[in-house]
């Protein structure tokens, strides 16, 4: 027996050595993942390009050669999929991204050909509607009824406009009409959240994040490109909507979203439908891409996305995909949501929002599972059909799947394109919100001393060119100082003394030179919750004793100190580097009672004064100074001319603060007195 086994082993060795291509140096190479990804994109493209015609037919199904013959019975030529549905809005976005990543123009041509056709159809639909007022089969082009009719399509058209403004001129009127519905005509609840009257009055659907928020965010980006005057309004609205949807639908115990919320119910359907959570992933990625990072609330949206992706990771199946109900393994594995998650992981890795090493294998496994669902014809299998709000597990688990469920194609294209980008790009640099080592160098004006401004939105830069929009006093403070010094405004909207010290203080600290000055002003955001919501609050007082809190957003522990402690740390670190810190109490709030404006006399004013005294630095009680001046001006004039809300100021109010602060720095003979005009 031993002799027999020995002969078998020798024979195998001889065959291995003799057979060409089987030696160690000639082992077959692993397939290039980028090539495989593009092959899947091509398969889908070839299928869709042949089954989604761009034509209008009459009531007998005959193609209209002249669009001016459109009437109430005209409709788009039937193909496997409709070219103006919300699902196809996502498909166009996927095609545009595929062209951007691969450099192949045929994908974007697919999108532009059909979008331009719709743009050519629209004037004739509008003309017939205006003249006749009939309920047309194409009527949703002129008068959409809900976000499904236009939201995702509007987002795709805006992305296409940003990619090629010249081609987009054909469909710009349709874009503007549809966006007007999304922004101003879609039904909302009292707090402004986008809502529906289906399946019951005052319902909030997670799906509407993508249908409503993505077009608003990208409209802001388009407005910025076109130098529009509503840019910041759109950015702020997009951020606000994300946070409102979190308020209604986020389940912090699981870090997942429920599908829907209905006002008239005391208990809301608490089902974590996979595709609904996928819409949230796509939306937050788009918002973070379109909206500038400096916008208030951007960081909270990023943290929300990261929390969702971290939670989804634990529910990934051995096949790489996710279940129809995320936390119910007895439900089937669903393709469209899985592709949305793959896109989210790859995108977050590419942007540096997620650790590449920790999450790239989740993205790869997810893609491998998704790719197996694209058949040889290019159809996406195991995609759930359209789904409303459900009241039982079985409602979601029994929803059928179909290759003609249009929801699968756009997400798979997006996932494939973003995965190509992940394979092609080097690891993203460490994001600015998570500094590693010294902060990047900030350019200076020669050897002039720098006056660094550390504060919140009341000091931060302005939000637009309109003098009646929000402006922080730091935007103009340089004009009130001598040219012998340079003012660097490093204030950030939305931050407290805690979140500024933890995330942005290094920008100043590591750039300080001996002879510089640092003005420190916080307080408005320190009143916020410590471990919920944006988690930016501080403990009251000036004590240095820490306390550990569990953060609701991800369950992580964080050591939190008092307001006074964070001021003290900034003062000491500035002094160690040769700068002169000056503590400034927070600006007043536009809250009045019997002719007196609200002050922080017994809280932030007192704590600022105490810390400044203990650390031996100058203190300007700006809260008291400005409050006293407001009372001389009067409540009506102050509210009308110097505030835009409870806290923030227009340009006139910001310059008013600059004048008061410059005078106080002189009158109190502070170290900055000789530089104050």
Confirm if 320 and 368 have CB atoms less than 8 A apart: yes
DSSP 464: S
Residue 477 has pLDDT above 50, yes or no: yes
The answer for residues whose C-beta is within 8 angstroms of residue 557's C-beta and 6 or more apart is 548, 549, 550, 551
Q: What percent of the chain has pLDDT over 70?
A: 93
Rounded (10°) CA dihedral 190, 195, 201, 206: -130
Q: Of the candidates 521, 546, 541, 505, which has an alpha carbon nearest to the alpha carbon of residue 614?
A: 541
**Which pLDDT band holds residue 181 (cuts at 50, 70, 90)?**
very high
Residue 169 has pLDDT above 90, yes or no: yes
Confirm if 231 and 464 have CB atoms less than 8 A apart: yes
* Residue 103: φ, ψ to 5°: 80, 5
Which helix (H) or strand (E) segment holds residue 495: the answer is none
Q: Radius of gyration over alpha carbons of the chain, in Å? A: 29
Q: Residue range 214-218: average pLDDT?
A: 97
Confirm if 332 and 397 have CB atoms less than 8 A apart: yes
Q: What angle do CA 72, 74, 79 make, to 5 degrees?
A: 145
Q: How many residues does the chain have?
A: 677
**Which pLDDT band holds residue 279 (cuts at 50, 70, 90)?**
very high
Q: Which domains does the chain have, with CATH numbers?
A: 52-186 (no CATH), 450-675 (3.40.50.1110)
Q: Residue range 511-528: average pLDDT?
A: 95
pLDDT of residue 4: 34
| DSSP one-letter string for 271-305 | --BHHHHHHHHHHHHHHHHHS-TTSTTHHHHHHHH
Q: Compute how many other C-beta atoms are within 10 angstroms of the C-beta atom of residue 230.
A: 15
pLDDT of residue 7: 36
**249 HSE (CA, 13 A, CB side):** 33
Q: What angle do CA 50, 52, 54 make, to 5 degrees?
A: 115
Residue 15 has pLDDT above 80, yes or no: no
Q: Of the candidates 278, 384, 283, 381, which has an alpha carbon nearest to the alpha carbon of residue 324?
A: 384
pLDDT of residue 143: 94
**Range name among 186-200, 410-424, 451-465 with the lowest pLDDT average:** 451-465
pLDDT of residue 81: 97
β-pair type (56-57, 486-489) = unpaired
The answer for residues whose C-beta is within 8 angstroms of residue 544's C-beta and 6 or more apart is 561, 562, 565, 568
Beta strands in 285-444 (DSSP E): 322-323, 333-334
Q: Distance between CA 447 and CA 427 in Å, rounded? A: 36
Confirm if 283 and 213 have CB atoms less than 8 A apart: yes
pTM over 0.75: no
**Which pLDDT band holds residue 466 (cuts at 50, 70, 90)?**
low
* CB neighbour class for 428 (10 Å; exposed up to 12, middle 13-18, buried from 19): middle
DSSP 27: P
pLDDT of residue 438: 54
Please tell me which residue, 22 or 222, carries the higher pLDDT value: 222
pLDDT of residue 408: 97
Residue 204 has pLDDT above 50, yes or no: yes
**Range name among 16-20, 194-198, 335-339 with the lowest pLDDT average:** 16-20
Q: Residue range 180-193: average pLDDT?
A: 95
Please tell me which residue, 267 or 143, carries the higher pLDDT value: 143
pLDDT of residue 199: 87
The tens digit of pLDDT for each residue in 384-398 reads 999 999 989 899 999
**Which pLDDT band holds residue 431 (cuts at 50, 70, 90)?**
very low
pLDDT of residue 546: 81
| DSSP one-letter string for 196-245 | B-SSSSSEEETTHIIIIIHHHHHHHHHHHHTT-S-HHHHHHHHHHHHHHH
Residue 142 has pLDDT above 70, yes or no: yes
The tens digit of pLDDT for each residue in 35-75 reads 999 999 999 999 999 999 999 999 999 999 999 999 999 99
pLDDT of residue 357: 86
Residue 24 has pLDDT above 70, yes or no: no
Q: Residue range 466-471: average pLDDT?
A: 73
Q: Residue range 152-162: average pLDDT?
A: 97
Q: Distance between CA 412 and CA 586 in Å, rounded? A: 50
Residue 560 has pLDDT above 70, yes or no: yes
**Which pLDDT band holds residue 464 (cuts at 50, 70, 90)?**
low
Q: Residue range 128-153: average pLDDT?
A: 92
**Which pLDDT band holds residue 11 (cuts at 50, 70, 90)?**
very low
pLDDT of residue 429: 43
Residue 437 has pLDDT above 50, yes or no: no
pLDDT of residue 427: 55
Residue 377 has pLDDT above 90, yes or no: yes
pLDDT of residue 439: 67
Residue 536 has pLDDT above 70, yes or no: yes
**If DSSP codes are grouped into helix, strand and coil, which group holds residue 579?**
coil
Q: Of the candidates 387, 465, 451, 53, which has an alpha carbon nearest to the alpha carbon of residue 231?
A: 465
Please tell me which residue, 420 or 20, carries the higher pLDDT value: 420
pLDDT of residue 554: 80
**Which pLDDT band holds residue 652 (cuts at 50, 70, 90)?**
very high
pLDDT of residue 577: 85
**Which pLDDT band holds residue 434 (cuts at 50, 70, 90)?**
very low
Q: Average pLDDT over the chain, rounded to whole? A: 90
pLDDT of residue 548: 85
Q: Residue range 472-501: average pLDDT?
A: 95
Q: Residue range 575-581: average pLDDT?
A: 90
Confirm if 298 and 288 have CB atoms less than 8 A apart: yes
């Amino acid at each position: 027996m031993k002799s027999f086994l020995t002969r078998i082993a020798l024979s195998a060795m001889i065959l291995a050595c003799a057979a060409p291509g089987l030696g160690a140096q000639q082992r077959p190479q692993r397939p290039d993942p980028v090539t495989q990804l593009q092959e899947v994109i091509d398969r889908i493209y070839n299928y869709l390009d042949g089954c989604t015609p761009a034509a209008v037919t009459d009531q007998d199904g005959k193609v209209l050669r002249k669009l001016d013959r459109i009437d109430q019975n005209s409709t788009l030529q039937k193909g496997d999929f409709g070219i103006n549905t919300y699902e196809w809005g996502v498909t166009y976005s996927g095609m545009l991204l595929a062209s951007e990543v691969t450099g192949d123009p045929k994908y974007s041509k697919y999108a532009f050909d059909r979008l331009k056709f719709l743009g050519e159809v629209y004037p004739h639909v509008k003309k017939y509607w205006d003249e006749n007022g009939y309920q047309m089969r194409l009527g949703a082009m002129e008068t959409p009824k809900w976000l499904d009719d236009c939201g995702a399509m509007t987002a795709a058209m805006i992305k296409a406009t940003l990619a090629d403004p010249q081609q987009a001129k054909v469909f710009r009127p349709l874009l503007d009409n549809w966006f007007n519905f999304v922004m101003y005509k879609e039904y909302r609840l009292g707090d402004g959240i986008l809502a529906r009257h289906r399946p019951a009055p005052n319902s909030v659907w997670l799906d509407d994040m993508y249908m409503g928020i993505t077009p608003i965010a990208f409209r802001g980006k388009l407005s910025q490109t076109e130098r529009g005057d509503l840019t910041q309004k759109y950015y702020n609205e997009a951020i606000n909507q994300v946070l409102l949807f979190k308020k209604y639908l986020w389940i912090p115990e699981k870090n997942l979203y429920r599908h829907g919320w209905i006002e008239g119910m005391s208990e809301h359907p608490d089902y974590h439908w996979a595709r609904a959570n996928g819409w949230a992933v796509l939306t937050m990625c788009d918002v973070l891409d379109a909206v500038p990072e400096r916008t208030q609330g951007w960081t909270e949206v990023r943290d929300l996305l990261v929390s969702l992706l971290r939670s989804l990771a634990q529910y990934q199946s051995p096949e790489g995909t996710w279940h129809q109900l995320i936390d119910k393994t007895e439900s089937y594995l669903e393709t469209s949501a899985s592709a949305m998650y793959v896109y989210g992981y790859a995108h977050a890795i590419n942007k540096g929002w997620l650790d590449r090493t920790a999450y790239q294998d989740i993205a790869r496994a997810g893609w491998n599972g998704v790719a197996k669902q694209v058949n040889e014809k290019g159809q996406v299998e195991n995609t759930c059909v359209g789904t409303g709000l459900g009241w039982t597990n079985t409602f979601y688990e029994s929803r059928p799947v179909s290759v003609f469920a249009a929801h699968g194609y756009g997400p798979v294209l997006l996932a494939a394109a973003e995965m190509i980008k992940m394979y092609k790009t080097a690891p993203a640099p460490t994001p600015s919100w998570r500094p590693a080592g010294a902060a990047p160098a900030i350019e200076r004006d020669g050897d002039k001393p720098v006056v660094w401004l550390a504060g919140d939105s009341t000091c931060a830069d302005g939000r637009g060119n309109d003098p009646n929009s929000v402006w922080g006093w730091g935007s103009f403070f340089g004009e009130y100082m001598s040219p012998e010094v340079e003012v660097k405004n490093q204030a950030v909207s939305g931050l407290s003394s805690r979140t500024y010290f933890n995330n942005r203080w290094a920008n100043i600290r590591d750039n300080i030179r001996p002879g510089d000055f640092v003005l420190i002003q916080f307080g408005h955001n320190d009143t916020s919750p410590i471990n919920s919501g944006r988690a930016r609050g501080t403990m009251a007082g000036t004590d240095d004793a820490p306390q550990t809190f569990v953060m609701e957003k991800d369950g992580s522990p964080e050591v939190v100190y008092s307001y006074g402690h964070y001021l003290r740390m900034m003062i000491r670190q500035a002094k160690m580097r040769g700068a002169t810190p000056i503590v400034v109490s927070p600006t007043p709030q536009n809250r009045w009672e019997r002719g007196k404006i609200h002050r922080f006399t017994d809280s932030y004013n007192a704590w600022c004064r105490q810390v400044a005294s203990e650390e031996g630095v100058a203190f300007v009680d700006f809260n008291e100074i400005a409050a006293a001046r407001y009372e001389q001006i009067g409540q009506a004039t102050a509210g009308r001319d110097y505030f835009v809300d409870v806290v923030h100021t227009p340009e006139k109010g910001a310059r008013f603060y600059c004048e008061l602060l410059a005078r106080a720095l002189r009158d109190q003979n502070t170290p900055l007195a000789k530089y104050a005009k």
